[in-house]
A and B are shown apart, each in its own frame.
Chain A
């Protein structure tokens, strides 16, 4: 029975994506382009389909590894949002937690002379510790003083943003790129220009770790005592307390777990995809991840699929815009529409659920299944984030970025 419910969730997400593609096709047709061509060049850019021609030493694998590299922090960030959601908490502070973790790892390990064997695990540890501490702090504020986590995480985003920006600009700035100085390649979590069967490619070392964390979170929620407590507090704090669950402790713990995952997102982003930090700017990933988690209905395993999808859209858009002659903003639009429909997923699920609910013989259906208020505000955020940020495609091209920043 549980399996059928899970399948239903997958079905709902699939329908949302299909509907979104349909709507986008109409828009593309309206501007006089061929949607099939646009979509295929998007897939080519993301490394799913081979491009017609490649520069020397590059191939479809190069693009695909780049996609996985970009997906790694996205998946960590989505897991951070998802686990908090399951505890009934809305962590909008993923971007800030990422930045804090990325900054401290850069300063502590990235500029140190440590060798790779020491530096890389240490980067991960710093990421875990910093993210976890920030998350736990938010959880503590919620548990002890009943300060809503949305408020505290938004405030912390700004605090982290300006503190790190101050230190980067004062002490760690690279005068040419106007970013923080590049970290040592020993500390970087993505290997560059690795030779894979004759093709030069990136190698994201933490991709499998992210997938493993997704499985771990899934098992944690479904199969462990702590997971039971997290879900119980998420569904009904009152009933959880009645059952003898220490709701405060559970809130702090789940926010800490969420922060840990956000911290890993931060280090794989700032010390993986990139090797420097752009001061006074939060990453879009922090906000897109809310949408990714939403699309997966806060299921850690589903987050793997949804982060792959959303990253495909952002990562492939650069190539798409140059070959299909359509602005890469169409990718942001696509994400927006997918999320809009996945927010409606609550409605599809409601339609499906009505059949089930009708079983409730002597009771009336109480309405709104699935995604609550947190979901709807979540879907508006990433849209705004994706729209106002600079072109998402170019972010993953380190050389272009270093040269082209104002």
Chain B
């Protein structure tokens, strides 16, 4: 008989304009992996934040280990042996792994009456934990020198060091590669086998299928259902999550190639540190074609996109758009000539977070009618246009088009960028990692848009790290490895295995 460790009774939490959690009651058992599944904005992070003491519920009770408990702050949560790994890590990059772990809970040693830091004790304890869970971390390494997945393991260690028994993971795999994800899931399983209780917040069904014991589905703040994962199909879970029947396969008609829109030949790009990032790349994208560039992160694909959009200087080679040479023109010229660009970094590059929805929608066309008349902005007209766009692209914000983009959910931020770029009616659309971190509903929406753009006769250059996405959308697949195009072929002629080998440089 499983023993309940957390019991939520009728938890409700609302924010101005949105009911984030609506009367949620559920029980989490000792030693299980309990997944909370939902779309962006379904209220799952709010629920986790309540458990970790960051928000207090408007109504309802939390029972912890059979006792009614008020979790008033994260500090209190830690005292109650609850730990959380946030989506964005909270580490000091100049500090070492050990220093980050003990920060705020330093072991002290008295030397002649003066308290000093007992590094040795801390080091031993941390090394024990690393060995126990096979974390493969060097305790003395600086955070800035280790990769994202290692940083995440540091976050996990931080919880274990504070002897957390209940571990909350908020979208832990959003930033990880497939291999790293597998590794993390193995760690999560190991934690459970050691008696920890895991709460896993995610919108990736495969992960739930792989590790979770039970899974709660939230939709618009309400608890829809709690499943036993082993006996439920992925399709059923997907349907319940988005609240309507969902077809995971994208319908695609055979491609109808037109004239070449983008022609890149022998393009070489160096970054600011004079490192060669793109090495004599040539590729052609036709009207009505989705050209997908597959590759492992850091192989030059982002620099290639930046160079095509005019944000990075070209060292040699040429870029032609609809037959016209654009290698040396400014980003503005290229945008006007018909290059739309959905960049990888949405928050720092694609959006101005402290601008409103309406201002962000006009950020690439504010200088021409109808957004501008002479030197004057037409703010009212812009707001009207923005309202229309928000409606058509289903961009949801609490206070309409005057909402600051900072307060939009990740999915809505991405929808905003996609809407702006598609509305620009360019002949070439560059999508970089268009669905990273998005839930199924939003992912599907954006993938359908990509195909719709292709069917309208536009050329699409898709740069993605997800092979599944590449396979689902591409007409032509190119593989980039170490800044070079390793292989190009029609999508139907390459298998997953072959692609993987090219991506990893095994096959050349």
Contacts and interface: CB of A to CB of B under 8 A. Distances in A.
Real binding pair:
yes
B403 interface: yes
Contact of B410 (A245, A358, A363): A363
B55 A241 contact: no
A401 interface: no
A361 B16 CA distance: 11
Nearest to A236: B352
Nearest to B403: A1
B407 A240 contact: no
Contacts of B355: 231-232, 235
A242 B331 contact: yes
B335 interface: yes
Contacts of A225: 366-367, 372, 375-377
B18 A361 contact: yes
Contacts, number: 109
A244 B86 contact: no
B32 interface: no
Interface in A224-258: 224-228, 231-232, 235-236, 238-246
A2 B359 CA distance: 12
Given A235-B355, A360-B409, A361-B46, A242 B330 contact: no
A244 B15 contact: no
Interface residues of B, number: 55
B15 A359 contact: yes
B406 A224 contact: no
A290 B42 CA distance: 44
Contacts of A2: 356, 402
A243 B377 CA distance: 16
Nearest to B413: A363
A364 interface: yes
B398 interface: yes
A362 interface: yes
A357 interface: yes
B285 interface: no
Contacts of B254: none
Secondary structure call for the A interface: helix
A231 B363 CA distance: 11
Contact of A226 (B17, B375, B406): B375
Interface centre among B45, B87, B352, B402 (most CB of A within 10 A): B352
Nearest to B44: A362
What is the interface residue range for chain A against chain B? 20 to 34
B350 A242 contact: yes
Contacts of B309: 242
A356 interface: yes
Nearest to A243: B363
A273 to B, nearest CB: 34
Interface string B51-89: 000110000000000000000000000000000001110
A228 B408 CA distance: 21
Nearest to A220: B375
B348 interface: yes
27 contacts: A1-B403, A222-B379, A223-B377, A223-B379, A224-B376, A225-B366, A225-B375, A228-B366, A231-B355, A239-B348, A239-B351, A240-B352, A242-B341, A242-B343, A244-B330, A244-B364, A355-B16, A356-B16, A357-B407, A359-B16, A361-B18, A361-B43, A361-B46, A361-B409, A362-B40, A362-B410, A364-B54
- A-B residue pairs, 6 tightest by C-beta: A244-B332, A1-B402, A362-B45, A243-B363, A358-B15, A244-B331
Interface of B: 15-18, 20, 40-46, 49, 54-55, 86-88, 309, 311, 330-332, 335, 341, 343, 348-356, 359, 363-364, 366-367, 372, 375-377, 379, 398-400, 402-403, 406-410
